[in-house]
A and B are shown apart, each in its own frame.
Chain A
Amino acid sequence: MAESVDAIEHRIDALRAEIRRAVATRDTSRTRALRAELRAAERDWEQAVADLADLADLSAPTGEAPVGAEPGPAGSLLPVREQVHHALTLLSVPAAPRLIAEVHAAFFGPSAPSLAANRLTHLRRDEKRSFETAPYARPYHLCAALTAAHLAPARGLIAVSTWPLERRIVGPLSPRVDFLTAAVRVARRAGTMPDGSAPVSKLLWRFATNIPGATGAPGTLDRHDTVDPQTVIRAAEAEQAVHAETDRAQRKAAADRARRQLDDVQQLFGSTLRTLQRKTA
């Protein structure tokens, strides 16, 4: 990279200060322009840091040779994409960035410092842009869950494009059903782990405390090393049975509607049609 990391950091600081001033003086057009500039600078920074890492790998005496050293703009994104994909595949339901990061940290090691929530919103936007320019070019895209009511992107949920549409629809009961599904998946996975690691049992305990009968004996609520995966699975499935049928019907109806009304991009990333305004007009 022509510009050093220090110089970019300097530029970012200056831009931030500038944005703060622009916001304080309510200059929205200038703020917008500056924000765009800041985003570009941040991308440059990612790139420069990735290059730096490659350089460090090369110069490290015992370091392995870098495989296909082509970081590119996608280079820094690719690992994050895959981390998210791993976590989502484990959960098998649309999830919020925070949960995705926690699941990844618990099962795949803490090597996910970049799985911060704000990075993930960028990611979804990037994925959409990529799909629009080259549809189905990637084996999967990280996309949105759709609300059953308006087929709009559900706030703060990430899904995988290869999932059936029904699974990506969020009806009123779906958050709970998905939560229980995720609990079962996490418990199953935790059950196969040889030795209950602290982050895994903590994650499982967090699920268990919010499912009736999942923590076993009452009074053990505050101890997260006592949660039994089998108990969690039984309790979650018992509650799931209560909601499952209604939820499935609602999701199916919405998914059918989405297939009829939406194009490919909208089916993955949601429609922002002004449904309500049209109705009242």
Chain B
Amino acid sequence: MTSISMGTGRSTADRLAAIRGGVQPKRHNARTIAALTRNPGCARRAVLDTAGVDKQRLAAYIDFPARFGQSGFAIARGNAFEAQVKASGAAELVRLLRERLGLPIPEVAYDDLETVTGREKESPEVRYARSRALLLRAAAGEEDAGTLFDHPLLALEVAGQRVYLEPDLIAFQHEGRFHVVEIKSFAVVDGQADPAKVSAAAIQAAVYVLAMRQMLAEAGHDPEIVAHDVILVCPRDFSNSPTAVLVDVRRQLAVLRRQLGRMTRVDTMLAALPPNLSFDLAPDADGVPTRAPEALVEALRTVEARYAPDCLSVCELAYFCRAEARGCTAALGTSAREELGGIERVETALGLAKGELSPAEEQEEAAALLRNAARLRAEVLGTAG
């Protein structure tokens, strides 16, 4: 899991805190970063996520509740499987790694980084400092530097802000190489798993690989010692016994790096927004929001969104944005948007197709395409009917 912390730039931090309101920033995970990079042009999402606004709650309050999320059952199952694999100093994982990577017998050192000083609530800085110290010691090839690191905390710069990432997994060192281990509770049956789930896990793991590599590079180590093969641990067939597969995340890494690089820095984005912008629900003593939903909707409208059908599966506010984008050609998906370059509204497109509107100069290409499509449609319907 990740939390977004306001490490850099005091004024930016204050600004983000004001946008968030008087509540704790929402905790994020590698999924949100993966999703963030899927639609990098969406300022609304970038601002809300960087400020740590609870989008789920916001969406529900303005009457566009998100209809997704992991079920409690799935989360419990995932946690139980992870606990099983990591029980007794990750005994099951050690066996898998010995089989899969030829991990030598002496390499079993296990460091639990989920808590460092035994306090239940620890600042991410403390955990990050400890993880960093241990991982860098391992990178330097020191004696007894450790092999398995349970829940280390990594950090990544996203849009100019430091985001802490907690691999729900173990980063591990063997003959000078780190491997990111991702533990997932979806089954691998006959060596096959749901491709969508595997690819989601791969993107998530790639976020960790990227964060690890950046940390090593900053400390003057070769970032390539973090393997681009991540180890995916899943239950085998219909049993609870784990199996490990290597997944190459080079492609995901390239995509992530490019998207993160393109993301507008949050300071630049904030500068363009009204200074009193806030998504504070202003809860009263009983936690009941006191702000009118209309005020929040208005605040949302001041931040530009870029809705695409893809958003429905990754963003909590997608239903609101979809309703807002009704009638826009962009809402039809990226390919339709590209074909209809320069035509913003669906009505315009229909008008052009029927020849009721005359296209402007830059719309001529798209208009020809539309008229062609309309003719084809008429022909097909005519012969069919």
Q: Could you tell me the distance in whole angstroms from the C-beta of A89 to the nearest C-beta in chain B?
A: 18
Nearest A-chain residue to B239, judged by Cβ: A222
Point out the residues of chain B lying under 8 angstroms from A276, CB to CB. 116-117, 126, 129-130
- Contact indicator A98/B117 (Cβ below 8 Å): no
Q: Which of A21-29, A54-62, A77-85 contacts B (4 or more CB under 8 A)?
A: A21-29
* Min CB–CB distance A269 → chain B (angstroms): 9
Instruction: List the B side residues contacting A152 at CB < 8 Å.
Output: 115-119
Residue ranges of A at the interface with B (Cβ–Cβ < 8 Å): 22, 24-27, 30, 96, 98-99, 147, 149-150, 152-155, 172-176, 178-179, 182, 209-210, 212, 239, 242-243, 246, 270-277, 280
Contact residues in B for A25 (Cβ distance below 8 Å) = 283, 286-288
Query: A172, A210, A280: which contacts B94 (Cβ < 8 A)?
Result: A210
Knowing that A172-B144, A271-B118, A276-B117 touch, tell me 14 more A-B residue pairs with CB under 8 angstroms: A25-B288, A26-B23, A147-B118, A149-B130, A152-B117, A153-B118, A154-B112, A155-B112, A155-B114, A172-B109, A175-B90, A212-B98, A212-B105, A272-B119
Min CB gap A191→B, angstroms: 21
Q: How far is the CB of A232 from chain B (nearest CB, A)?
A: 13
Chain A residues whose CB sits within 8 angstroms of the CB of B286 once the complex forms: 25, 27, 30
A210 contact set on B, CB distance < 8 A: 88, 91-92, 94-95
Given A27-B286, A271-B118, the answer on whether A243 and B106 have CB atoms closer than 8 Å is yes
With both chains docked as a complex, state the minimum distance between the C-beta of A224 and any C-beta of chain B, in angstroms: 11
A276 to B117 alpha-carbon distance, docked (Å): 8
Q: What distance in Å separates the Cβ of A177 from its nearest Cβ neighbour in chain B? A: 9
Q: Write the chain B residue with the least CB distance to A31.
A: B287
Q: Which residues of B contact A280 (CB under 8 A)?
A: 129
Q: 24 A-B contacts, Cβ less than 8 Å apart?
A: A25-B286, A25-B288, A99-B87, A99-B88, A149-B130, A155-B112, A155-B114, A172-B109, A172-B146, A172-B147, A173-B110, A175-B108, A176-B91, A176-B94, A176-B108, A179-B89, A210-B91, A210-B92, A212-B95, A242-B105, A243-B106, A276-B116, A276-B117, A280-B129
- Asked whether B111 lies within 8 Å of A172 as measured between CB atoms, the reply is yes
The minimal Cβ–Cβ distance linking B93 to chain A, given in whole angstroms, is: 9
- Count of B residues near A, CB < 8 Å? 35
Q: B373 at interface (Cβ–Cβ under 8 A)?
A: no
Q: Give the chain A neighbours of B106 by CB distance below 8 A.
A: 242-243
Task: Knowing A175-B88, A178-B89, say if A274 contacts B111 (CB, 8 Å).
Answer: no
A275: B residues at CB distance < 8 A: 117
| Residues of B bordering A, CB below 8 Å | 23, 83, 87-92, 94-95, 98, 105-106, 108-112, 114-119, 126, 129-130, 144, 146-147, 283, 285-288
Which chain A residues border B112 with CB–CB below 8 Å? 147, 154-155
Q: Which residue of B lies closest to A146 (CB)?
A: B118
The interface residues of chain A lying within 8 Å CB-to-CB of B94 are 176, 210
Q: Which residues of A contact B288 (CB under 8 A)?
A: 25
Residues of A with C-beta under 8 A to B116: 149-150, 152, 276
Task: Tell me whether B92 and A173 are in contact (CB under 8 A).
Answer: no
Contact of A179 among B88, B117, B146, B147 (CB under 8 A): B88
The CA-CA distance from A178 to B126 in the complex, in Å, is 28
Among residues of B, the one whose C-beta sits closest to the C-beta of A222 is: B241
Q: Are A22 and B287 in contact (CB under 8 A)?
A: yes
